[in-house]
Amino acid sequence: MLHIFCPHCGELRSEEEFHASGQSHIARPLDPASCSDQEWGEYMFFRDNPRGIHHELWDHVAGCRQYFNVTRDTVTYEILETYKIGEKPQVTAADKQEAAPVIAKGQGEKV
């Protein structure tokens, strides 16, 4: 069971209170009418699926019912930070690579 820090409630809560809502920081095109089908389709349906650092939207459904952002490592499930909507992440994939250069390259390689 993960303990997740809700930035609105200001304390760690158990994972079962939360709901994951996919990738965060997806900007809606300012003028949807002028988008090509490909641009709109990519905004609508295509999501990153990184191995490592991922920024996600989570919803504290059982508590304050607010969405917030989570930086999570998809390999270890470790949650590195949580921050409110509109704020910038402190940890990004670029930082993490410098700090931890051990990354499996081949398919099926053990980490």
Residues within the interface to another protein (CB under 8 A): 1, 8-11, 13-14, 16-17, 61-66
Nearer to another protein by Cβ, of 54 and 68: the residue is: 68
User: How far apart are CB 11 and another protein at their closest, in Å?
Assistant: 7
User: How far apart are CB 89 and another protein at their closest, in Å?
Assistant: 20
User: How far apart are CB 1 and another protein at their closest, in Å?
Assistant: 8
Question: Tokens for 25?
Answer: 């920081």
What phi, psi does 102 have (nearest 5°)? -80, 95
In Å, what is the CA distance from 75 to each residue of 50, 54, 90, 110?
A: 9, 10, 19, 12
Nearer to another protein by Cβ, of 14 and 90: the residue is: 14
